Amino acid sequence: MAAAIEYDGSDYCGWQRQNHSPSVQAEVEKAFSVVGDEVISIVCAGRTDTGVHGTNQIVHFDTCAKRSSRQWLLGVNANLPKGVRVHWTEEKAAQFHARFSATARTYRYIISNQFYRSALYHRLLTWERIHLDEELMEVAAQKLLGEHDFTSFRAAGCQSLSPNRDVYSVKVWRESQFVIFEIIANSFLHHMVRNIVGSLISIGRREKEPEWLGSLLKDCDRSKASSTAPSNGLYLCGVNYPSRYKIPKFNLGPQIISSQD
């Protein structure tokens, strides 16, 4: 079975189950296990960090339970906390794997760029008081396109065997007071998006020139880049799969958050 999960990551240590803190995975597995009347383990398309949100996280699980898609959907949502919801559930071919069948993932990072911090959305957006030049950020972001060694934007504790990633699309734009960064790649290193955004913010503040981002890529030195951007502005909002798996696409909420795919 496959499913799509939406979640506010503010209250969780991330997607992955941890012994010391609440996780999205633990909540989802508990709800599916109740409905299936058996212990169910969930595999996701991409593990998100503490405080990071998801609008279209794709998962799969094996089960012996006989339930319709509607029964799974209604039953699981009835057993989930308000900040986590299932969009759909469907039976898929045994060959489908939420992580290894995926061909690309889409992340968006949303910055509230105004003089005061939002009272209602402070958990869901990153705040930057200094005016950002989104056009300079867009010029710089284009240097990320293609396959590169992303060591300069890799967390020290990243466990990936290779620092190379292939970026298919990247863009920065403004909608009113919001500055949005979107990146699509085959996969991502630990803290890669947040580390890139941290350096893009330095460029948007005019502290650095756009060419600096290209230099960071070539230097392969994390110490030369800016600090990691906060987690609350980051969203996993899309996962691509070969068409044979027939994974539904779902756009959630305002355009600044939902993927344009």
Same domain, 136 and 58: no
Q: What is the pLDDT of residue 261?
A: 45
SS (H, E, C) the chain: CEEEEEECHHHCCCCCCCCCCCCHHHHHHHHHHHHHCCCCCCEECCCCCCCCEEEEEEEECCCCCCCCHHHHHHHHHHCCCCCEEEEEEECCCCCCCCCCCCCEEEEEEEEECCCCCCCCCCCCCEECCCCCCHHHHHHHHHHHCEEEECHHHCCCCCCCCCCEEEEEEEEEEEECCEEEEEEEECCCCCCHHHHHHHHHHHHHCCCCCCHHHHHHHHHCCHHHCCCCCCHHHEEEEEEECCHHHCCCCCCCCCCCCCCCC
Structural domain includes residue 254:
no
Among this protein's residues, is 49 annotated catalytic?
yes
Same domain, 54 and 145: no
Structural domain includes residue 255:
no
Same domain, 115 and 225: yes
- Bridge partners of 2, per DSSP, are 60, 90
Domain that includes residue 97, residue range: 2-101
Q: Please list, in sequence order, all residues whose beta carbon lies within 8 angstroms of the beta carbon of residue 72, skipping any fewer than 6 positions away.
A: 1, 3, 32, 35, 86, 89
Same domain, 112 and 96: no
Structural domain includes residue 226:
yes
From the candidates 8, 37, 49, 149, give the one annotated as an active-site residue. 49
Contact 170, 144 (CB under 8 A): yes
Instruction: Kindly report the CATH number assigned to the domain that includes residue 186.
Output: 3.30.70.660
Contact 39, 33 (CB under 8 A): yes
Same domain, 108 and 124: yes
- Bridge partners of 164, per DSSP, are 149
Same domain, 38 and 96: yes
Q: Residue 80 is encoded by which pair of tokens?
A: 């989930």
pTM assigned to the model: 0.94
Instruction: Kindly report the CATH number assigned to the domain that includes residue 71.
Output: 3.30.70.580
Same domain, 122 and 55: no
Q: What is the pLDDT of residue 260?
A: 45
Q: Residue 49 is encoded by which pair of tokens?
A: 């960090």
SS (H, E, C) 229-241: CCHHHEEEEEEEC
- Domain count for the chain: 2
Same domain, 144 and 197: yes
Listed as ranges, residues in the chain with pLDDT below 50 are: 260-261
- Bridge partners of 170, per DSSP, are 183
Same domain, 55 and 144: no
Same domain, 27 and 118: no
Same domain, 196 and 138: yes
Burial class (CB in 10 A: 0-12, 13-18, 19+), 242: exposed
Q: What is the pLDDT of residue 248?
A: 83
